[in-house]
Amino acid sequence: MEKSITLNPIGIVESSITNRDDMPTNGIQAGIRVFPPYVGALERIEEYSHLWILTWFHQAPRDVTTAVPSKVNPLSYRFGVFALRSPSRPNPVALTLVKLDRIQEYTLYVADMDAIDGTLVIDIKPYFEHDTVFSPRTPQISPLSVNALQKTLLKQALTHHGETCPDLLLAVRMALIADKLLGYIKSPDVQVQVYGSTCLADAIQGLCRARLANPARFEFCSSFIKHSIWIKGNRRLSISGVRELDLKAFWGVPDYQIFEVAMEEIE
């Protein structure tokens, strides 16, 4: 059995960020410049919307086996690094899902890249439909700040729904309230009912990962009202929208000006 591995980088990341501590958790726009010997491997890659990028996080510590996801929530539990996407690990191989925006010469311009400038790229793989797991089981590692959680939920909703619209923004704000009052909204013991548009229902379903069946914990009814009900244990949370949202209002208007919220205990 081989005792060592030799990797030949196939490209390099070109980013505006040079220090890993400055990298946002959701990544940024960046370029991936493929080295000349490997440009033939890019043939027809433009047919894919998303790519998996494997990189070597050269600034990451390699002498740790446990870590706290401090960028997300410094008050979180400690995990083994194999149970996290922490850059600190025995072999700092990073896996990042990016959206391919365009190709110019031998550079891929992508969104959501979390590697700093000068990071070597080990491999590029396409994102396939069978990579999708709609409702996986994961531990709760929520951002500590409300603003960071709002950004994270917005990104998740956009990834699922595909476009920004007023009802997607409303769905994210509803999910924020539910997360605050009930806890982890992706938990399998959270039941969700949505009344309103298909956009509202689609965005909320993407955020809570609730299925219509197997197991059934999501219901939708088309309606002129915009209303969601979240049930966990003996608690029933009702959230009714009273106004439309644009991006400015999404970030700046308080909940009481957007919703009527009621919590009750049920048998």
For 92-95, which contacts have Cβ atoms below 8 Å and span 24 or more sequence positions?
92/56, 92/57, 92/58, 92/60, 92/62, 93/54, 93/55, 93/56, 93/57, 93/122, 94/53, 94/54, 94/55, 94/56, 94/57, 94/119, 95/52, 95/53, 95/54
In tens digits, the chain (267 residues) has pLDDT values of: 778 889 999 999 999 999 888 998 889 999 999 999 999 999 999 999 999 999 999 988 899 999 998 888 888 889 999 999 888 999 999 999 999 999 999 999 999 999 999 999 999 999 998 888 887 888 877 787 889 899 999 999 999 999 999 999 999 999 999 999 999 999 999 999 999 999 999 999 999 999 999 889 999 999 999 999 999 999 999 999 999 999 999 999 999 999 999 999 987
Phi then psi for residue 122, to 5 deg, are -90, -40
First to last CA, the chain: 61
104 shares its domain with 50? yes
Phi then psi for residue 174, to 5 deg, are -60, -45
User: pTM surpassing 0.85?
Assistant: no
Helix 198-208 and helix 146-161, axial crossing angle in degrees, nearest 10: 120
| CATH at residue 37 | 2.40.30.70
Q: Which domain holds residue 170?
A: 146-265
| CATH at residue 185 | 3.30.1330.130
If phi > 0 it is left, if psi is from -120 to 50 it is alpha, else beta; for residue 79 that is: beta
Task: Count each helix (H run) and each strand (E run) in the chain, helices first.
Answer: 4, 13
212 shares its domain with 120? no
If phi > 0 it is left, if psi is from -120 to 50 it is alpha, else beta; for residue 27 that is: left
38 shares its domain with 118? yes
Query: Which of 96, 131, 166 is at the close of a domain?
Result: 131
167 shares its domain with 71? no
Query: Which of 131, 158, 193 is at the close of a domain?
Result: 131
Residue pair 46/37 in contact by the 8 Å Cβ criterion: no
- Judging by beta carbons within 10 Å of its beta carbon (0-12, 13-18, 19+), is residue 233 exposed, middle or buried? exposed
